[in-house]
Chain A
Amino acid sequence: MDTYDVAVIGAGVSGAAIARRLSRYRLGVALLERCVDVSFGVSKANSGIIHAGFHHAPSSLKAKLEIQGNRAFDQLQAELGFPFRRAGIVVAAFSVEEMKVVDRLYTQGVENGAPDIQIVGRERLLALEPALSRDVVGGLFAPSGGIIEPYRFVFALAESAVANGVRLLTSWEATRAERRDGAWRIVSSTGQELAARWVVNAAGLQADQVSAMFGAEAFTILPRKGEEFILDKGSAGPPSRVIFPVPARTSKGVLVIPTVEGTVMLGPTADEGDDKEDTTTTPENLERVFGLASQMVPRISKRDIITAFAGLRPTLPGDDFLIELSRKAPAFVQVAGIQSPGLTASPAIAERVKELLMAGGLELAEKPDWTPGIPHVQRTRDHAAWEVDRLVAADPAYGHLVCRCEGVSEAEVVEAIRKGHTTLDGIKYYTRAGMGRCQGGFCSYRIMQLISRETGLSLERITKHGPGSEVVRSRIGSRV
């Protein structure tokens, strides 16, 4: 049985960031994920915003970690090479009453330390974001806000962690745990076992079950569903900033987000529920989201919708993050209730977990050979024609476009497969192949062929997102 110093449960953005942070030290670290790939849980439905630090009260842990996390992204991008841009955030107010809320957000932002945050009048707001409705009266501008490809960020964190010695175990769902001889013994759903001196619970929607499994604090994670709608890179073009309405009580409201890859995202909704698997989208919310979004940006059109999806935010009562050493279970760190601004805060969450582990007595000795960077993903579409020739000379597969809508080459898909992303969804999140306007209509079979060629899997064993989601049932002529 393998014994680790730390086992991190959950390879979403928190778990991956924590694992990477811990990879700097002479520690044996295991990153456990119940799904077949990283970023397949809560993180896959992230809106991809780097928040600017004005939405949360200064007393909250969220506000503190959001600001700290935001600052880390320039360096992280330089090291890990994920798509990220500080496009800036605007909050659009449509009445004098809404401007009062903007005043409060501004004060809160200043108190939190949000850099360069400012109240802007109508004229300046429209100049900052020409896509806004002329009905706007003024608002807030936070230049440090940004947009990011969320899955690529999680993949890059996990990749960096693994490159520095972390053991990533996917399809590894912890189902039982007991404390024996100063270490946790953890058993998976398939009967595999490992031991870890410390455990970090970054299990997202399952954090309450995992906490109970280890005899730690009793709490309930409630899923709050958010539906999002993606618009094609339309003729009107995306807005240039992330556009927020004046926020509602339980969420930041329905936003218009120019994604870092050029599409537009509308949403999310915020519906409380109790089903942790309810990721259905509904016609009612489509109408609602479009109604709210088009008040802010009139030029958006339902004709440009290419897909819809829903994600679940893991929420705790009080709506703050819970990041602390368990008072009930030994050597157990809680990282629960990580919803918005969880991705923004993730570098700071990782830092805090490191501090907690140290405070709890884990010895942290820096590795002299820790490497912060990973080879950046080369993408045909990022290069001008003459540069593409150089890529093709090195590997002809860069000249073969597999996904026409997003301009993804065979080389990029093969790279994803060789790094272990062998499902259609995994490849989609890693490369964007299948994420564009045809939604895989033209590239799915090509990607299936590439998975088959690279892994030896027969076509009928290829899945969308893991066992049970096989794309096709059988081959013509085979007996089933």
Chain B
Amino acid sequence: MSADLNALRHLLKERFPSAAPLVQRTVAPVSTGLSELDRILPGRGLPRGKLTAWGPLGGASAVLRAACQRVVVAGERAVWVDAERTIGAEWQEGPLLIRPQDPLPRINALRAAEVVLASGGFALVVLSAGADPEGTERVRLTRAAREGNCAFVALTESPSLATLRVSSRILPHSFRWARGPFADPAAPIDATVEIRVRTLGWNAHASVVLPVDPYELRLSLDPSLVDRRGGERARTGTRRGARSR
């Protein structure tokens, strides 16, 4: 019985290599460039030809942006489909940044993702939150990723059809702060991100410390405006428990 089962497994692996669980696959995955994360990923990287569902926020964008850069440095190509247009001035050249056009940004983001996935020319495609694929959309994208043999990461809460599920969160009390003259927190320095990876027969987690980019707000008090510092309470009368709109 056991011999038959092994023979069947062997046959399935031979005939349908892409159907094998990630932990048994031998196809070279896409390295994220973050050794702590690669260590907990099956095969030490994001799987090619598969959908990875990564819960949005919690440091996901930071890690995936770095992964895209890593892919480009390695000589391959990466695409970030910025469906909700939140990528800011910290974006580094290298990966392609694609923004869907109006009036249907969500649909256009999904179409764009499908085109680049199926082309076979990209090693990593990231679909940002705001274009969460549903139902048949997800089936089409998964199929396109398989056709193009591309690592496809969708920032989505839904794990449907995803071969690999990743969740990450920033530990609230892990922030380190630069202190001001009153010993109050003045600027965040870094924070710890906990990443958990799950797939069939695999459950691993790791913690990484990520620096926080300063936003470098330039103070520019206009001489024609009154200086409101110290006048806040007198003008608005806001107190603890009061609601301000």
Do A and B come together as binding partners?
Answer: no
Residues of chain A having any CB pair with chain B under 8 Å: none
Residues of chain B having any CB pair with chain A under 8 Å: none
